Amino acid sequence: LVREPLPESMAELSDFSGWTAAPTAEAAPAAAPRPVTCPHDRTIVVGHCRDARPDEVSTMIERALSAQPEWDARGGAARAELLAAVADAYEAHRDAFLSLCQREAGKTLTDAVLELREAVDFLRYYAAEARRLFTPEGEALPGPTGESNRLTLHGRGAFVAIAPWNFPLAIFTGLIAGPLAAGNTVLAKPAEQTPLIADLAVRLFREAGMPDGVVQLVPGDGTVGAMLTGDPRIAGVAFTGSTETARAINRSLASRDGPLAQFVAETGGQNAMIVDSSALPEQVTRDVVASAFQSAGQRCSALRVLYLQDDIADAMLEMIRGAFEALVIGDPEDLTTDVGPVIDAEAKAALDAHVAAMRAAGHTVWQRELPQGCDRGTFVAPAIIQIDSIRQLEREHFGPVLHVARFAAADLEQVIADINAVGYGLTLGIHTRIDNTRRLVQARAKVGNLYVNRNQIGAVVGSQPFGGEGLSGTGPKAGGPHYVARFATERVACIDTTAAGGKASLMA
Ligand code: UN1
């Protein structure tokens, strides 16, 4: 494969300069910029990133605080206009974003296109929400004659957005746009692995006309994240990532002085799909393979545990394995590729260790051979592993590894109970043509997003608000009608509207 040169808009990213905190005289010298390498070929340096120093983090928080009152006072319609302008700018920079999704995050072109689409959808949807919710007149509430009661929404202050590497543009953008729409300023910390795409995104927020301090990029690792979340000046945190990190953030917010913080988190899942013997095999095959292996399984929505009804299990598994064997693994910049690399060496090591441990424990494992050239990147050979129950898995395995179990029709309720007992509650798939089965699963399964007779990834902003419960998150659902309001504070103004003061006459 001959690689095209980087588009010009990417070349400028090789020197990471999207954020410019003024260094103070006594500031420690900056750490050397670190190289950001390509997941499918570690010899390719995509760009460099210098992480924020503590003094810079503090300066940026100060700036976010001073910019917030004016941003809030603009009102929803003016903020919506700017968010829509950012959406236009994203579309105008499509090629640079697609290249970065591929080279920095190892995405296939299909995934990269979907990612940009989702980012633009978040911007436009939250813009519409800003218009809807943040009007100067607010909402009139019923009350006694002679009183006007109005509820208006306002920004809370400076929010921290902490984003994952698996949707380095879409979720990064959504986590910024939600709090912004509500009248907050935002300090945006991208994942360590994907600062470059975040840098381009934040530049476009600024170029579209966001005033200084309204959105600032704060690159860094967990230390930088802890500096942000532990600061008493912060109004809250919008987070997507692991359950473990969400717990750490929660502790950090709880232990600081200052205002009580708002925390919105979307975390992991141990997502199952239940397939009974009335399901359509071709449809199941297509949806299982997409749900488990698209994006190399690196979606929190991805299918991890497939439950097949015992009387169709062998035939179904054979079809699924046929499709699994046909998946094209390799360079995501090659248009025929279905499964690209995982994000980094640490992710690869954890997944390889899991497959090895399952094999050592006696589970049947089907695993693909990696094609030539994959040793240049962090590829994991896709695997299907037989298990008896979801309860045999201690945690989420974030990659191209699918577990398969069998169940007898009489045990369906037990299967649902086992899935619920795991404690996550993100996505669940059900393939059945029996209405009672669908109804039972729908009524009992404790999940945020239930998918019937289709794949269980790719929630659409506005139509399929996304997010879970329990270990999977705090809600509200991203891309849904309750999201933006969660970043706001409510104010009720109660005004006596009688000319002479109605209260006075009542008191007399
Ligand atoms: C995530 O992977 O962190 O529905 C969540 C989907 C995506 C999942 C995003 N919106 O597949």
E strand map for 436-497: 449-452, 488-496
Distance 237 CA to ligand 1 centre (A): 19
Q: How much distance in Å is there from the Cα of 300 to the middle of ligand 1?
A: 5
Q: Is residue 417 over pLDDT 50?
A: yes
Which residues make Cβ contacts (< 8 Å) with residue 147, sequence separation at least 6? 494, 495, 496, 497, 502
Average pLDDT over residues 93-120: 97
Question: Which positions are catalytic?
Answer: 266, 300
| Rounded distance from Cα 190 to ligand 1 centre (Å) | 16
Q: For residues 347-376, b (16+ Cβ closer than 10 Å) or e, as one string?
A: bbeebbebbeebeeeebeebbbeeeeebee
- The pLDDT of 87-114, averaged and rounded, is 97
**For 281-312, what is each residue's pLDDT tens digit?**
999 999 999 999 999 999 999 999 999 999 99
Can you tell me which atom of ligand 1 is nearest the CA of 302? 11
What local confidence, expressed as pLDDT, does residue 419 receive?
A: 98
Phi, psi of 400 (to 5 degrees): -80, 60
pLDDT tens figures, 176-198: 999 999 999 999 999 999 999 99
Name the average pLDDT for the chain: 93
**Cα–Cα separations (whole angstroms), residue 397 to 113, 303, 350:** 25, 10, 8
- 457 close to ligand 1 (CB < 6 Angstrom): yes
With a 6 Å cutoff on the Cβ, whether 240 touches ligand 1 is: yes
Tell me, in angstroms, the distance from the centre of ligand 1 to residue 170's CA.
9
Tell me the mean pLDDT in the region 329-337.
Answer: 96
Joined tokens for residue 352:
């390889």
Q: What is the pLDDT of residues 235-265, one digit of tens each?
A: 999 999 999 999 999 999 999 998 899 999 9
Q: Is 261 in the pocket of ligand 1 (CB under 6 A)?
A: no
Residue corresponding to tokens 């808009």: 9
**Residue 177 and residue 215: Cα distance in Å, rounded?**
10
Q: What is the pLDDT of residue 167?
A: 98
Q: Is the dihedral of CA 38, 461, 226, 24 positive or negative?
A: positive
Cis omega (within 30 of 0) for bond into 476: yes
State the alpha helices, DSSP H only, in 158-309: 170-181, 195-207, 222-229, 243-255, 281-293
Q: Is the CB of 267 under 6 A from ligand 1?
A: no
Main-chain phi, psi angles of 407, to 5 degrees: -145, 155
Contact by Cβ (8 Å): 426, 403: no
- Best residue among 122, 167, 342 to mutate for probing ligand 1, ranked by most atoms within 8 Å of CB: 167
Given the cut 0.90, state whether the ipTM is greater than it. yes
358 vs 397: CA distance, rounded Å: 12
Average pLDDT of span 393-419:
98
Task: Answer whether 149's CB lies under 8 Å from 138's CB.
Answer: no
Residue in 339, 332, 375 with CA at minimum distance from that of residue 1: 332
Amino acid of residue 158: A
Asked if 303 and 291 count as a contact pair (C-beta separation under 8 A), the reply is yes
> Is the CB of residue 119 less than 8 Å from the CB of residue 91?
no
